[in-house]
Amino acid sequence: MSDFTDALLTARRGRRSGRPASPMARREARWGYAFISPWIIGFVLFWAVPIGASLVFSMLDFQLTDPDATTFAGGSNWERALSDPDTWTALAATFRFTVLFLPLSLVVALGLALLLNSRYLKFTGLFRLLFFAPSMIPLVAGILIWQQVLNPQTGWVNRLIGLSGIDATGAEGIRWFDNPVLVLFAFSFIGLWGIGNSMIINLAGLQGIPTQLYEAAAIDGAGWWRRLRSITLPLLSPVMFYNLVIGSVLILQYFVVPWVLFGATGRPAGASKFLLVHFYQEAFVFGNMGYGAALAWFIFIVVAVFTGLLFGTARHWVHYGTERS
């Protein structure tokens, strides 16, 4: 326990007992509050105040182009958000992409971590660098690279597919950004470009599993699959749960890739109009800041509910080392 915590407990015990805290305890407590005050000030200015302001804005008819004409709107912005077809189109597009990309990213990140953790793999340091390097490239630059890679006529993905006899580069070829289903796979390819962070977290978790467990299982005749299912996955489940929650929050707020590729158009057929794209369009393109604030709270509620469901299921499959049977 830190000296600052001891000082706080001493000061509180003194107040509860009616005895004044010692001068040293009060001085240490003041220094402790002084050291954490930058964080408190930053939290208030950059988190609490904007959150409160957005809640107030959501109840106003506030136009960025004419702020002097702002009037109280009550719950009309919330009613509009719930009745706007574009909101539900954006929610459906967001969940379709979440259902596709979230499990894919978790499996790929885990698979790469297992590969890099293998004792049979040589030059592991080089492979770790190669797999992690794409996540260090600026996202917009990566998007532009993938836009060329998935080009219908000149992209190497279609050219590789064409080697199998499929006409992927012709007039009727595979157009990744013109099909509402294929565009989700294109988004997934771009998303896997930055899978390095999750891979490194999984790799750190794998290296924290005691090797004695694998040795004992091997002596008992357990094969690779049995060791993976009975040792690796249960002991890695807290790390996997962390990646699941963080990945869910990020995917439900997916914005940069669809905005750079399609802007506010939602092409093709609304498949790229995600929740955050819809919010940005209403708030900063159309200038409907009041309605945009209501949409921001709607997105927050969606993320909170989805995350809450994940935490509700965690007790069935996440195993912590401190648990007792």
Query: Can you tell me the distance from the alpha carbon of 252 to that of 285, in angstroms, rounded to the nearest whole number?
Result: 21
Fold classified for 78-317: MetI-like fold (1.10.3720)
Planar angle of CA 23, 25, 26, nearest 5 degrees: 65
Bond into 138 cis (ω within 30): no
Across-strand partners of 60? 72
Residue 19: DSSP 8-state: P
pLDDT value of position 32: 84
pLDDT value of position 250: 94
The tens place of each residue's pLDDT in the chain, 325 residues long, gives: 455 555 545 545 555 555 566 778 788 888 888 889 999 999 999 999 999 999 999 999 999 889 888 899 999 999 999 999 999 999 999 999 999 999 999 999 999 999 999 888 888 889 888 989 888 889 999 999 999 999 988 888 998 888 888 887 777 778 999 999 999 999 999 999 889 999 999 999 999 999 999 999 999 999 999 999 999 999 999 999 999 999 999 999 999 999 999 998 989 999 999 999 999 999 999 999 999 999 999 999 999 999 999 999 999 999 986 554 4
Across-strand partners of 283? none
Cβ–Cβ contacts within 10 Å for residue 244, how many?
A: 21
Dihedral of the alpha carbons of 218, 220, 224, 228, in degrees to the nearest 10 = -100
pLDDT value of position 165: 80
In the chain, domain spans = 3-57, 78-317
Decide: helix, strand or coil at residue 126.
helix
Q: Residue 101, exposed/middle/buried by CB under 10 A (0-12, 13-18, 19+)?
A: buried
Q: Residue 322, exposed/middle/buried by CB under 10 A (0-12, 13-18, 19+)?
A: exposed
Q: Give how far the C-alpha of residue 21 lies from the chain's centroid of Cα atoms, to the nearest Å.
A: 46
pLDDT value of position 325: 42
Q: Give how far the C-alpha of residue 237 lies from the chain's centroid of Cα atoms, to the nearest Å.
A: 18
Answer yes or no: are the C-beta atoms of 61 and 73 closer than 8 Å. Answer: yes
pLDDT value of position 10: 53
Token pair for residue 180?
């509402």
* E strands in the chain: 60-61, 71-72
Query: Can you tell me the distance from the alpha carbon of 277 to that of 282, in angstroms, rounded to the nearest whole number?
Result: 9
